[in-house]
Amino acid sequence: MVQRRDDLKESPSQTAGPYVHIGTNPNWVEITGVWQGDLGLVLVGPDTKGERVLIKGRIFDGLGKPLNDALVEIWQADADGLYNSPEERRGRADPNFVGWGRQPTDRDTGEFRFETIKPGRVPYGDGRPMAPHITVYIVARGINIGLHTRLYFGDEAAANAECPVLNRIEHPGRRQTLVAPRGEEAGLPAYTFDVHLQGHHETVFFDV
Amino acid sequence: MSDHRGSFYARDRDWHPPAYTPDYKTSVLRAPKQALLSLDNTISEMTGPVFGHDMLGPRDDDLITNWSKTGDAIGQRIVVHGRVLDENGRGLPGVLLEVWQANAGGRYRHHKETYHAALDPNFGGCGRCITAADGSYRFRTVKPGAYPWPNRVNDWRPAHIHFSVFGHAFAQRLVTQMYFEGDPMIWQCPIVGTIPDKRGVEQLIAALDRRNTTHMDALAYEFDIVLRGRRATLFENRMEGT
C-alpha cells in the first residue's frame, strides 16, 4: 500500500448536440432579447492593431457533406504575438483585441467566417518561434469531445517550414491540412480553412 | 507552496468518450480516424479569454423568467448550483458557464426540433453565469423533460442540461451535460453510453440537494464540474520573463 491520492478527474465531455446554438448563439436561433447580441461575433474594432484578414471555411464529414450545425471558436494572439490573457507574462496585449471569436456554421452552406487580424508569432515551450497560427475549436452533434486544431497561413511558407509544432506532424502531407491558402475577398486577404473530419484529407487534430 | 502555473495535466482520453461510438450514429461520419497529435501545452493553449461579471444581465441566470412573455416558465422549479474545480480540487473563479436545455415537456425552442411536445411561450432555454471567487455558481430553471430523438427507433434522451465551460485556458475548454439523480433513462441512453466508465457517468449526475431547496419555490440540485488541473512549476525553468 502507498499513500492514497485524492485526485479529481476531469468531468467527461458530452456532445454539444444539435441545439448548441440555443446556449451559445440564442439570438441566431431566434431566441432574442435574453441578452444583447451573441458572444464572440466581432473580434476587430477600429482601434485594433494589425492587418485585417478574413478566415472562412467549412467542416466536412466523412462523406464530404459540410456540417451545417457546428460551432467554431477561434483563439489567437494579437498582431505582436501577445495573448490577451492574465497568463501572458511577456508583455501587454493590444487592449482593443480580445482574440477570441465564435461563429456557427451557416445553415445552408455550412460556411463559417471570422473577420480578424493576422496574429504575430508566439514561442514554443523551448523558446523557438512558432509560425503565426490561430487555435480552432469545433463542437457539433456527433462530436463527442471538442476538436482542437490550428490554422496556419498559406503565405507564411518560411515560418511554417520551421514551426516546431507543424514539424511534429510525421507525414509532411498532413501538415498541409492545417495551412489555409490565401485568396482575396472584398479587398481583404481571405484564408480558406476547410476542415475534414475523415478521409484522405483528414485534418490533424490535437491532443494538447 | 507549489505554484500551479505549469502546463495542464494530460487529458485522460480513456475517461472521455472516444470519437467513434456507433450506437450514437451521427458520430460514425464525424469521428476523426487518425491519431491525434499529442503535445505539451504551448502558450496558445495555456491562455484563454476572460469574461467579466459585468457582461451579465440580471436575469441571465434565471431561465424561469429570462424569456418570459406572460409569466413564469412552466415546470418543476429547480436551482442548480455547485462549484467549478480543477483536478487539484481548487475552486476556479471567473469561469463562464453557458447552459441550454429543453423545456419541461422535453421540447427545444429550435428550428430543427421535431418532437410533438408543446413549446412553452415563456421558456427560451438558455442561461449563463460566471463563477464566484470560490468557484461557486448557481442558476434557476425548470427541470427539462425527457424526449425521443432520431437515432435508433426508440431512443430517448434522459432529462439533461447542456453546459459549455470556459476555464482559464483554452486547454480547459469543455462542453458536457448534466443529468438528474434517480433518472432511470440515464442508463439506456446511447449518448451517455459513449462514456466508457460508469464512474464517469456518475460524475455527470447532479445530486438532489434537500438542504438547499428554496422555501415554497424550488428544489435544488448540486452539480460540481471538474476542469483540467495544472502541474506545479517548482523545479522548472520558465522560458518567459519574470
| Contacts (Cβ under 8 Å, ≥6 apart) of B159 | B106, B143, B144, B145, B146, B179, B180, B183, B185
Which tens digit of pLDDT belongs to each residue from A106-122? 999 999 999 999 999 99
Averaged pLDDT, A72-77: 98
> Bridge-partner residues for B77, per DSSP?
B142
Identify the pLDDT of residue A6. 73
User: How many whole angstroms separate alpha carbon A127 and alpha carbon A139?
Assistant: 31
Q: Which residues of B fall within a CB distance of 8 Å from A140? A: 30
**Catalytic positions of B:** 108, 147, 157, 160, 162
User: If DSSP states are collapsed to H, E and C, what string results for chain A?
Assistant: CCCCCCCCCCCCCCCCCCCHHHHHCHHHHCCCCCCCCCCCCCCCCCCCCCCEEEEEECEECCCCCECCCCEEEEECCCCCCCCCCCCCCCCCCCCCCCCEEEEECCCCCCCEEEEEECCCCCECCCCCECCCEEEEEEECCCCCCCEEEEEEECCCHHHHHCCCCHHHCCCHHHHHHHEECEEEECCEEEEECCEECCCCCCCCCEEC
Which tens digit of pLDDT belongs to each residue from A32-53? 989 989 999 999 999 999 999 9
Identify the pLDDT of residue B194. 98
How far, CA to CA in Å, does B74 sit from each of A156, A187, B77, B105, B141?
Answer: 56, 51, 8, 9, 10
Whether the CB of A208 is below 8 Å from some CB of chain B: the reply is: yes
Of B29, B47, B168, the CB nearest to A198: B29
Which tens digit of pLDDT belongs to each residue from B27-42? 999 999 999 999 999 9
Question: Cβ–Cβ of A143/B16 closer than 8 Å?
Answer: no
Which ipTM did the prediction report?
A: 0.96
Size of interface A-B (CB pairs under 8 A): 268
Which tens digit of pLDDT belongs to each residue from B105-128? 999 999 988 899 999 999 999 999
The structural domains of chain B, ordered by start, are 61-227 (2.60.130.10)
- Which H helix or E strand runs over B176? strand B174-180
The Cα of B40 is separated from the nearest Cα of chain A by a number of Å equal to: 6
Which tens digit of pLDDT belongs to each residue from B140-154? 999 999 999 999 999
Of B87, B162, B200, the CB nearest to A17: B162
Question: Cβ–Cβ of A24/B164 closer than 8 Å?
Answer: yes
CA-nearest of A56, A147, A36 to A101 is A56
Number of other CB atoms surrounding residue A186 within 10 Å: 7
Question: Cβ–Cβ of A146/B66 closer than 8 Å?
Answer: no
Banded pLDDT at A55 (limits 50, 70, 90): very high
Question: Cβ–Cβ of A22/B242 closer than 8 Å?
Answer: no
Q: Which residues of B fall within a CB distance of 8 Å from A90? A: 240-241
The structural domains of chain A, ordered by start, are 20-196 (2.60.130.10)
Question: Cβ–Cβ of B162/A135 closer than 8 Å?
Answer: no
Percent of chain B with pLDDT over 70: 95
